[in-house]
Structure 1
Amino acid sequence: MAEEENPDTYLQETEVEEVVNQDENEMEQDFEENEELDPNAAGIHSVMDLSVQGFFEHKDSVFCVSMNPVKVNLCVSGGGDDLAYIWDITNGEQVCQLTGHNDSVITVGWSFDGNYVATGGMDGQIRVWKTDSGFEFITATETTDEVVWLTWHPKGLFLAAGCNDGSVWMLSMPSGKVVQVFYGHTAPVNAGKFIPPGVGKRLATVDDVGTLIVWNPGTGATECRMTGDDHRFDPGNAEISAGWTSFDSNEDGNVMFLGGSSGKVKVVNINNSSILASLETQHESVEAVSLCSTLPICACASVDGTVTLYESSSLKFRRSLPHGQAVIDCAFLPNSPYLLTACADCTIRKWDVRSGQLLGEYTGHQEPILCMSITADGKRVVSGSDDTELLVFNCEN
């Protein structure tokens, strides 16, 4: 696949790297301004069940969940009971049980057309079913180590998956054939995604020792490789060894925001391998990075209990959204300025990133939330928890 040159829509390439390290007084002021938003400020935690539906067949922690991009009622989930389920979020009924794994199912996902579903497990298997013909089993691929993540191409029937040994696998459907195995990482591949969003000309992957690789998915060639050998790109510091845990890219796919296990966020232009900024506001692992499609805002969710908002154009700190415990995920509702955050305090929250206002809290889980997925129409969010339950919340209000 030939790669087009995209202009840098964020910063001129001649600009130098900027380090954003928010002043402590500014952070204290920001938290004071948002203190009324902190659900734990009064030491009270609501356990009111505000869910509109639930699924209760899993017998162990629910590690992953994904909504069908076309059939908005269908959801797939995977858990520590070695099983995955397809179920209906409108009535909570089981549609299909997906079996065959010998260890925890820790990643699941649908193809862009909603006709295929894949599961990845700690047993090293990638298993795929065709869902438009009675849930026909297609293939089981034995990789060389635990499957950490999987992601479907946004326009084609190609599936990529990353493993704990650093290998990255790509399969083609409906044949189930392994068309590429990428070897370039020397540590667990923590995240991967086809970029740009909606186009998927390249495959970006990051690992546990601070390496970013951008691949040509057609040829397997490396188009960009950045490592911690360049101290400016190192996600850790002299005392702490760290890796990349999460990332997102702009619509052109030339600028990436990478979250690190030490709390750093690096902004890079992958067309010329330049570092545009180092955002150093958070202090613990950044578990999720999400770019807003309607505003120049980037949200970074951290184990330190904050979600930090940056201007994705100027790369300036905007504000911090306080949470009582670790934030494990964040995602924008489609075509909106509204951000959902999933927290270990058993609560999903809805925020208006323009003002930082807390618009809603969705409770019902009894143990930490481990995953969430938003419906394609943005009307519902589904969350999975250590309590073995999946709950559906109406996030329209």
Structure 2
Amino acid sequence: MAEENVPADEFIEDNEVDEVVAEDQNSMQQDFDEEGEGNDDGFQGENLVDMVPDMSVQGFFEHKDSVFTVAINKSNPNMCASGGGDDLAYIWDRTNGERLHTLTGHTDSIIAIEWSFDGEYIATGGMDSQIRVWKMSTGCEFIAALETSDEVIWISWHPKGHFLAAGCNDGSVWMWSLPSGKVANVFYSHTAPCNAGAFIPPGVGKRLATVDDMGTAIVWNPASGEAEVRLTSDDQRFDPGNEETAGGWVCFTSNKEGNVLFLGGSSGKVKVVNLNSRTILASLETQTESVEKIALCPVLPIFACASVDGTVALYDSASLKFRKSLPHSEAVVSCEFIPNSPYLLTACGDCIIRKWDIRTGQLLAEISGHQEPILCMAVAPDGKQVISGSDDKTVLVFNCE
């Protein structure tokens, strides 16, 4: 249903464009193995922490519980935001760790925080079924409390307009127009938790893609609310599960034209789908557990898939063939490419961020400082620093050049 007429020109149809990529040369990967030993004196964890060097150059330490989400303002990259299990979000300065604003009002954990494309607004999404929005140009003025029907799982700003979308645990997807806070559309079709969503193409946002825990992917027309593409696990070729367990879609990304989706499943499968022809280009089964993040390299035809099985799988986005696996000691919760480079950052449950050269698979650096598992990270627009939130209640800033 729609409670407000959304200008059609906010979602202009693009010409369909085929993905054109060139293959990069194959290369060898440098394997590594890291093993930590504890003492039998009852203080293994504390002694291990003492052994881990703190390489952070700055940090934010006011959270009282795990930090689940972080974001960097692209319009003012020194301005960062974080939200966590203490029901609070903060805006702070990554150059000195100073708290700039405290964002209150949630009654349960904040699991998503995002800046609008121009940095004018910041939104937080919580397990209390609420999204709260603040306006930065008026001194971080609170402007809207947006109610949903269930726990919020994700939020996504339109890349060119002040429209905010969100997906919920009951499968509903909502879209609002800001600053009015009026509902622009509600999309009811998912029958399971809507695990991820984003406007595509990334820089245009003419459509809204969403995926759920039952293996359904839908591409919506945001203005009309109509489903333009619907792919379900009823088609066995599209099923994200395996012979032992059912599965759903956990994450996805799209190519820059928005006509190809790369989807990561809870059973470790990755599917590549052409939205124009509704065809499955590849079903990739290198990994054995949930794929938490998929990232496309900005300078080479390669994409990376981070998995709970402790690997990051690299694939050629032209041939869709497996290239190599980057091993980690524990679950990999996220991966991000440094802008305009072939360098990949991975965040792992072993408290370490790793930097890789995907041309060779070489491990370039291990960046430590957290004392408990990393839960989220964000890379600065200039690629010089990364911030990460952790179960240890801190957000740390690291150099990654």
* TM-score calculated relative to the size of structure 1: 0.92
> 1:4: Cα distance to partner?
3.4
- Structure-1 residue corresponding to 2:30: 34
> 1:42: Cα distance to partner?
8.9
- Structure-1 residue corresponding to 2:105: 100
| Aligned residues of 1:337 and 1:353 also touching (Cα < 8 A) | yes
Q: Matches of 1:132 and 1:55 in 2, distance apart?
A: 23
Q: Mind listing any 5+ residue stretches in structure 2 that lack a counterpart?
A: 1-10, 22-27, 39-47
Matches for 1:1-397 after TM superposition, within 5 Å: 1-9=11-19, 34-35=30-31, 37-40=32-35, 47-396=52-401
Q: Matches of 1:287 and 1:221 in 2, distance apart?
A: 28
Q: Matches of 1:258 and 1:369 in 2, distance apart?
A: 23
Amino acid at match of 1:75: C
| Aligned residues of 2:207 and 2:221 also touching (Cα < 8 A) | yes
| Aligned residues of 1:383 and 1:390 also touching (Cα < 8 A) | yes
| Aligned residues of 2:176 and 2:184 also touching (Cα < 8 A) | yes
**3-state SS of the aligned residue for 1:108?**
strand
Q: Matches of 2:115 and 2:386 in 1, distance apart?
A: 16
Q: Mind listing any 5+ residue stretches in structure 1 that lack a counterpart?
A: 12-29
Q: Matches of 2:93 and 2:378 in 1, distance apart?
A: 14
> 1:41: Cα distance to partner?
8.4
> 1:174: Cα distance to partner?
1.5
The share of aligned pairs that are identical, in percent, is: 68
**3-state SS of the aligned residue for 1:139?**
strand
**3-state SS of the aligned residue for 1:7?**
coil
| Aligned residues of 1:303 and 1:328 also touching (Cα < 8 A) | yes
Q: Matches of 1:40 and 1:251 in 2, distance apart?
A: 39
Amino acid at match of 1:253: G
> 1:273: Cα distance to partner?
1.2
Q: Deviations over 1:345-382 (max 9, x none)?
A: 00001111111111111100000000001111111100
Amino acid at match of 1:141: L
> 1:50: Cα distance to partner?
0.0
Number of aligned pairs? 375
Amino acid at match of 1:8: D
| Aligned residues of 2:30 and 2:363 also touching (Cα < 8 A) | no
Amino acid at match of 2:227: T
| Aligned residues of 1:365 and 1:387 also touching (Cα < 8 A) | yes
Q: Deviations over 1:263-309 (max 9, x none)?
A: 00000001121111000000000000001111100100000000000
**3-state SS of the aligned residue for 1:232?**
helix
> 1:132: Cα distance to partner?
1.7
> 1:142: Cα distance to partner?
1.2
* TM-score calculated relative to the size of structure 2: 0.91
| Aligned residues of 2:30 and 2:360 also touching (Cα < 8 A) | no
Q: Matches of 2:171 and 2:381 in 1, distance apart?
A: 31
Q: Matches of 1:112 and 1:348 in 2, distance apart?
A: 27
Q: Deviations over 1:111-136 (max 9, x none)?
A: 00011000000000010000121001
Q: What RMSD in Å do the two structures reach over aligned CA positions?
A: 1.6
